Every structure is written in C-alpha cells, then in structure tokens.
Amino acid sequence: MKKSVITVVGKDTVGIIAKVCTYLANNRINILDISQTIVSGYFNMMMVVDMNDSAKPFADISSELEQIGEEIGVVIHCQREEIFESMHRI
C-alpha cells in the first residue's frame, strides 16, 4: 500500500477538515490517521491517507488539493510518505 501525507497549514476557519475530507471521500481516498494542532492561531493538520483505490493519478490529486487550499485560504501539500519515513526512521 502506497501511503501519502496531506498537510494543511493556514489561518483557522470553519470547515477546513470538512472540505478536505469531502474531496478525499469523493475520490475514494481512505484516511488512515489524522492529527491536528493550532499553533499561535494557525491551523496545522496532517493526514496519512491511502490512495490505492483512487482512479486519479497522484499529480491530479495533488494539484486539486492545492486548488481547494487556495479557495479556503490555506496551503495544502500532498507528498508520498516515504520522504518522511526515510528522514525520520532508521
């Protein structure tokens, strides 16, 4: 299973998680883990997701998530999990 990490950073507002999760559900992307904090008023969320059942290629999902971020005024990145695993796990 290829896991990916979605990060959302920006000013806190109503419905950020709802928007992102709706998009993920519509594209058959399964959420494995969510954690979220507010650091000095800034919303900071990380999701580990499984994209195996999604019909869309990674590049499309990544750019569409970025676009959703722009609409709600936050920055959304989508990256394969390996970059974090390789850096922080031996």
Partner 1 sequence: MINIYEVNETNKMIEEQNLDVRTITLGISLLDCASDDLSRLCDNIYNKITTVAKDLVSVGRDIELEFGIPIVNKRISVTPISLVGASAAHSSDDFVKIALTLNDAAKTVGVNFLGGYSALVSKGMTSADRYLIESIPDALAKTALICSSVNVGSTRCGIDMDAVRLMGRIIKETSEKSDMGCAKLVVFCNAPDDNPFMAGAFCGVTEGDAVINVGVSGPGVVKRAVEKTKGESFEVLCETIKKTAFKVTRVGQLVAREASNRLNIPFGIVDLSLAPTPAVGDSVADILCAMGLEQAGAPGTTAALALLNDQVKKGGVMASSYVGGLSGAFIPVSEDRGMIEAASTGALTLEKLEAMTCVCSVGLDMIAIPGDTSAATISGIIADEMAIGMINSKTTAVRLCPAKGRKVGDTVEYGGLFGESPVMAVNQFSCEEFINRKGRIPSPIHSFRN
Minimal distance, residue 88 CB to partner 1, in Å: 4
Which of 13, 22, 28, 33 touches partner 1 by CB under 8 A? 33
Q: Which is nearer to partner 1, 70 or 82 (CB)?
A: 82
Distance, CA of 44 to chain centre: 11
Region near partner 1 per CB under 8 A, out of 14-22, 23-31, 56-64 = 56-64
- Residues 31, 51: Cα–Cα separation, whole Å: 9
**CB distance 87 to 17 below 8 Å:** no
58 interacts with partner 1 by CB under 8 A: yes
**Rounded (10°) CA dihedral 64, 68, 71, 75:** -100
Site of interaction with partner 1 (CB under 8 A): 5, 7, 32-33, 35-37, 44-46, 48, 58-59, 62, 77-89
